[in-house]
């Protein structure tokens, strides 16, 4: 009885994954009522079922009406419209199959002409969308065609693969991410941590009470976001400073940074193998001191012996103040220019401007992570990462709004 109730037509042709169905003219209505629930036949995107013995195949409606009529029949019909006989057509593509209670994507067998097509009932939908392990799945809403069916996501699959949420602007992507994060946070996985990198600062409100927030302009219950410059790889650090620099000078600065890092290891007696240190190693060094040394070298002028410096006033690394030397004589006499100078003054000026820029404080004045002139820090990377990942809140938000692009 039940089969007769849900049967709506039969297969006329099968071409690869696409199936053409002729709807039965015995259907009294396009909106049959089964078990008190109204179904609509032929909605694009809705499921249909093909029972094949012990298995059920499932397909999704892709086309309905005139465009779904097979070409051979179209030819016949164009000569004699009576042949159309008020019958309706639809095309569907196979998406999965159910064997026992288990639904899986893809099909291992193909239906053939004459096989009957059935409506998919709530119970079938439960099979298609169900089958989730309660412990490892999260509920993020309900299936749009049936409010009584929860929409679930397998957490193991979600986090062990890459995933993207795509949609046009305003379609609800941010909202969907917020719901996903909330659902995971509510699940109480004790030792899991979610780190949200939030470029627009839009998740603080969604995850209130569940998140620890790091932000440049932190309010009372938030934490200050610091990203110590010395933890950046060399190329990323240099890309912060505008202005061009030649390849030779780039290598020169790289060597100076390695020297500064080695200096830190020596002065603070750190247990780090010196051979392994590169300009990319996350070892603290004073960028003020580095700037000062490079700047001082460029500005030096010398007496006739080329050894005695013509210093007027020594500068200051902490205050980013350049040293002042006597101006070199244009005529070839004393004071002489430093003929080993690199022509780096323009680039050094751009560094000085960034170091003083208040919007870059999170990098260059990073509180306890900021190195003293001899490279000593009160707190190291382990503390930084512990702050981000070691809290008792399930989510940590790094709110990047307010950080220069």
Ligand X SMILES: Nc1ncnc2c1ncn2[C@@H]1O[C@H](COP(=O)(O)OP(=O)(O)OP(=O)(O)O)[C@@H](O)[C@H]1O
Task: Give the binding site for ligand X (CB under 6 A).
Answer: 167, 169-175
Residues 209-238 that bind Mg ion (CB under 5 A): none
| Residue 144 C-beta: closest distance to ligand X, Å | 10
Structure tokens at 328: 């070199």
**Among ligand X, Mg ion, none, partner that 171 touches (CB below 5 to 8 angstroms by kind):** ligand X
Residues 165-184 that bind Mg ion (CB under 5 A): 174
Map residue 351 onto helix, strand or coil.
helix
**Among Mg ion, ligand X, none, partner that 43 touches (CB below 5 to 8 angstroms by kind):** none
Q: Which is nearer to Mg ion, 99 or 165 (CB)?
A: 165
| Residue 398 C-beta: closest distance to Mg ion, Å | 17
* Distance in angstroms (rounded) separating the CA atoms of residues 161 and 181: 16
Residue 396 has a CB neighbour count (10 Å cut-off) of 21
| Residue 171 C-beta: closest distance to ligand X, Å | 5
* Distance in angstroms (rounded) separating the CA atoms of residues 402 and 213: 14
- The strand pair at 194-198 and 395-399 is best described as parallel
With CB under 5 A as the rule, give the number of residues binding Mg ion: 1
Structure tokens at 53: 């013995």
Instruction: Decide if residue 204 touches Mg ion (CB under 5 A).
Output: no
Map residue 159 onto helix, strand or coil.
helix
**Among Mg ion, ligand X, none, partner that 392 touches (CB below 5 to 8 angstroms by kind):** none
Nearest residue to ligand X, scored by beta-carbon proximity? 172
Nearest to 348 by CA among 239, 235, 236, 245: 245
| Residue 177 C-beta: closest distance to Mg ion, Å | 8
| Residue 210 C-beta: closest distance to ligand X, Å | 18
| Residue 362 C-beta: closest distance to Mg ion, Å | 24
Q: Are 59 and 120 in contact (CB under 8 A)?
A: no
| 49 sits in which H/E element | strand 47-52
| Residue 199 C-beta: closest distance to ligand X, Å | 10
* Residues contacting 208, CB < 8 A, separation 6+: none
**Among ligand X, Mg ion, none, partner that 169 touches (CB below 5 to 8 angstroms by kind):** ligand X
| Residue 192 C-beta: closest distance to ligand X, Å | 24
Q: Which is nearer to Mg ion, 174 or 204 (CB)?
A: 174
| Residue 170 C-beta: closest distance to ligand X, Å | 5
Q: Which is nearer to ligand X, 172 or 390 (CB)?
A: 172
Q: Where are the beta strands (DSSP E) in 65-198?
A: 89-99, 102-105, 116-119, 137-143, 146-154, 194-198
**Among ligand X, Mg ion, none, partner that 172 touches (CB below 5 to 8 angstroms by kind):** ligand X
The radius of gyration of the chain's CA atoms, rounded to the nearest angstrom, is 35
Q: Which is nearer to ligand X, 167 or 233 (CB)?
A: 167
Q: Are 225 and 215 in contact (CB under 8 A)?
A: yes
State the residue for tokens 């382990």.
382
* Residues contacting 201, CB < 8 A, separation 6+: 215, 399, 400, 401, 402
Q: Which is nearer to ligand X, 82 or 144 (CB)?
A: 144
**Among ligand X, Mg ion, none, partner that 170 touches (CB below 5 to 8 angstroms by kind):** ligand X
Q: Which is nearer to ligand X, 100 or 170 (CB)?
A: 170
CA angle, 138 then 142 then 147, to 5°: 145
Residues 23-42 that bind Mg ion (CB under 5 A): none
Q: Are 74 and 50 in contact (CB under 8 A)?
A: no
Q: Which is nearer to Mg ion, 202 or 365 (CB)?
A: 202
Q: How is residue 309 annotated by DSSP?
A: B
Q: Which is nearer to Mg ion, 204 or 350 (CB)?
A: 204
**Among Mg ion, ligand X, none, partner that 256 touches (CB below 5 to 8 angstroms by kind):** none
Binding residues for Mg ion (CB under 5 A): 174
């Amino acid at each position: 009885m039940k089969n007769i109730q849900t049967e709506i037509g039969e297969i006329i042709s099968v071409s690869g994954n696409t199936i053409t169905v002729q709807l039965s003219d015995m259907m009294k209505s396009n909106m049959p009522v089964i078990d008190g629930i109204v179904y609509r036949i032929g909605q694009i995107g809705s499921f249909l079922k093909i029972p094949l013995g012990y298995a059920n195949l499932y397909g999704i409606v892709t086309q309905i009406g005139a465009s779904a009529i097979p070409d051979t029949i179209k030819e016949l019909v164009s000569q004699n419209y009576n042949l159309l006989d008020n019958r309706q057509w639809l095309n569907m593509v196979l998406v999965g199959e159910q064997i026992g209670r288990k639904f899986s994507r893809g099909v291992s067998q193909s239906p053939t002409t004459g096989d009957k097509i059935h409506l998919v009932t709530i119970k079938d939908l439960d099979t298609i969308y169900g089958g989730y392990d309660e412990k490892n799945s999260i509920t993020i809403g309900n299936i749009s065609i049936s409010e009584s069916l929860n929409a679930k996501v397998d957490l193991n699959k979600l986090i062990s693969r890459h995933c993207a949420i795509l949609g046009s602007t305003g379609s609800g992507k941010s909202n969907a991410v917020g719901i996903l994060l909330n659902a995971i946070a509510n699940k109480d996985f004790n030792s899991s941590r979610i780190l949200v990198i939030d470029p627009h600062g839009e998740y603080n409100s969604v995850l209130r009470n569940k998140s620890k927030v790091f932000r440049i302009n932190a309010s009372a219950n938030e934490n200050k976001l610091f990203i110590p410059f010395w933890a950046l790889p060399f190329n990323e650090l240099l890309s912060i400073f505008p202005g061009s620099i030649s390849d030779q000078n780039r290598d020169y600065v790289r060597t100076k940074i390695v020297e500064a890092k080695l200096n830190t290891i020596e002065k603070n007696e750190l247990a780090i193998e010196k051979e392994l240190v590169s300009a990319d190693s996350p070892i603290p060094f004073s960028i003020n001191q580095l700037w000062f040394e490079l700047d001082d070298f460029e500005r030096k002028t010398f007496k006739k012996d080329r050894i005695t410096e013509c210093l007027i006033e020594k500068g200051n690394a902490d205050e980013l103040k350049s040293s002042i030397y006597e101006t070199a004589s244009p005529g070839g006499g004393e004071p002489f220019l430093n003929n080993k100078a690199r022509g780096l003054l323009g680039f050094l000026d751009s560094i000085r401007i960034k170091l003083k820029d208040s919007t870059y404080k999170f990098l260059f004045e990073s509180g306890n992570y900021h190195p003293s002139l001899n490279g000593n820090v009160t707190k190291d990377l382990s503390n930084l990462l512990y702050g981000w990942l070691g809290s008792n809140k399930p989510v940590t938000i790094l709110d990047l709004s307010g950080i220069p692009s």
